Amino acid sequence: MGSAIWRKLEGEGFTALVGRRSGELDLRDREAVFDFFAETRPRYVVLAAAKVGGILANNSYPVDFLSDNLRIQTNVMDAALEVRTERLLFLGSSCIYPRMAPQPIHEDSLLTGHLEPTNDAYAIAKIAGILGVQAVRRQYGLPWISAMPTNLYGPGDNFSPTGSHVLPALIRRYDEARASGAQSVTNWGTGSPRREFLHVDDMASACLHLMEHYDGPQQVNVGTGRDSTIKEIAEMVASVVGFEGETRWDTSKPDGTPQKLLDVSKLRGAGWEASIGMREGLESTVAWYREHAADLREVG
């Protein structure tokens, strides 16, 4: 996400950009974060950094997902407040909404029901971030905002077999099966859950649009307003990578939330809609993955 936002800003002609990769600045280190903000004193901040992962990682390491994300968010927001950053955009996740929220999910569904248990720790951290933004608006009057993206994918994604989200995991699994000549691929669950996917470059475009055109305390959903079953997505991935074997489903593994489709009427009302189609986005993502596959395999 951060890289995509950086690309978008450069493409729009912004030149006074300041950022750090995680290897350069650990946002969990409060003193380091405050030093960074004191030195750079940014006028605008997009908080895209987070500890993220798929269903396996979230379910296996809830302490890490809760602790790391709370520290990242609190440190950045407190440091930004210290230097009176004019505008801050906090990026959350659609998993903040209740597991059985009415579909499509409207922003008003926040805190109206039980969360999906496989990623509740991450969701709670992100909900805390939204409330942090709202608290700054109430106490200090700064026009900070929050955006909740649907499932993102695209260049630069995490393709780790144990830590990735569903779409990069499918791309890697099917492409490796194609390359090895495997006759079948096995995916988790039943394939019936419905998911919405947004290309990361579209998300970057939405971020800039919101920074320029939206000012309100309520989080804004960012997505396409369309979803597909995991089975349909898997079939499209197989087609794009050229895998012609059989797809099997391990129904002993969890499906996660049955459906997560965002109501994006607020975003459309603000004047923005997604423009990158699913197959087009998949083709560019697969091309990026194949270009970087050797390096990615070295890290998991």
Residues contributing to the annotated binding site for NADP(+): 91-94, 126, 149-152, 165
Residue 85 corresponds to which tokens in the numbers above? 């950053």
Closest CA to 171 of 184, 153, 188, 189: 153
Which is it for strands 145-149 and 220-222: parallel, antiparallel or unpaired?
parallel
Other residues' Cβ atoms within 10 Å of the Cβ of residue 263: 19
Active-site residues: which are they?
Answer: 122
Cα distances from 126 to residues 43, 79, 218, 294, in angstroms, run: 23, 18, 14, 33
191 close to 111: Cβ distance less than 8 angstroms = no
Query: Cα–Cα distance between 25 and 2 in angstroms, integer?
Result: 14
Name residue 262's beta-bridge partners.
Answer: 105
